[in-house]
Structure 1
Amino acid sequence: MIGRLRGALVEKQPPHLVLDVNGVGYEIEVPMTTLYRLPHLGETVTLHTHLVVREDAHLLFGFYEKPDREMFRELIRLNGVGPKLALALMSTLEVDELVRCVQAQDTSALTRVPGVGKKTAERLLVELKDRFKAWDALPGTFALVSEGPGAPVQVATAESDAISALVSLGYKPQEASKAITAIKDKNLSSEDLIRRALKGMM
């Protein structure tokens, strides 16, 4: 199991990135909440990782903080929740927001995540309730992501990358395009466009 990687961030194509570790490029898929916190290209970053081994591929998932990785692991243990849905949940909701949804048994936020209907949301909340009891005793674990600025990029590329990222999370291309087009500020990085689009769709 690859548990942690530290290296230079050489490529960022939401929700994928490439981390150069001593000359070896690791392709990693991350939730948007991790993407928002990444440094600029060329800078060094440490990611906590989880490796999923399938017959046709080895998939590496990365997270900025350990609690984020633990949340991912809790989610994929649930019946009917694979890595793609887990990333969609964690991209739409911060970890602490997801915990609050479980505590309040609030289905409304979960049903806004692509691929989650009312029945699925209700089942997830019931299954997660007992699992999260241990998390409640960890003060300061669920800090909100800071609103750090992203690296400047060309507008067309940023918008295209943002739409592609939303589609990869399960949104329909028309929904993704409409959400990005609705953002008036066109001088944003792809990460900031994704963040605002997800908030708008919530």
Structure 2
Amino acid sequence: MDTVTLPKTGFLAHASQDLSDLMASVATEVVLEEGQVLFEQGDIGDTLYAIVSGSLEFSVLSREGRKLSLDVMRPGALFGEIALFDPGTRTATVTALEPTRLRGVKNADMLRAIRKAPDLGIDMIQLAGERMRWMSSQLNEQVFLSMPARLARKILYLTVDGSKQLSTLPLSQSELAEFVGATREAVSKTLSIWKRAGVIEASRGGVRVLDREALQVMADLHQI
């Protein structure tokens, strides 16, 4: 039986041993190259995925055809849980930002495993709860926060990587604009202000956070 060592990060850091064993042994490996699409919004899905290595971008298209980036997930993250219990169309497009390895388990295999190990059902309930809280927070930010505050929060969120306090976000200004639902010009103006203040470094290679505490102040709702 094919087995792999799963990362002890993200959701997998506190998942049950039954889930880790299932994703390491029963699940099928998927390998993506940078820029390769795992599935597109509207595709039929019936698989839960765990990220072993690499990173994935989640995005949607508006009715006008405008791309809106929602999230970036890294090793230890699980996604696609909706398809396990209600197989249907995917709600987002998933694209590899770098070479990425995944483990995927089908709907039928997961349901069969839950019948044998009920703790797996608890894992799925917890995963769904985390996703609902995240979606609620994103909606609140989009409605109530100014663009600079949304941008600050998104940069902080996307540059959290283990214990690293300084990190580079390899996204262009246009891509950052997609993440916060703003124009590239508005994002560029805000980044220029933060750069002059010594909070970030901005270049064609992306954004590097120099002062996380200052950026956190800008991200704070009460500071807007």
Give the TM-score of the pair, scaled to structure 2.
Answer: 0.32
Structure of larger gyration radius: 2
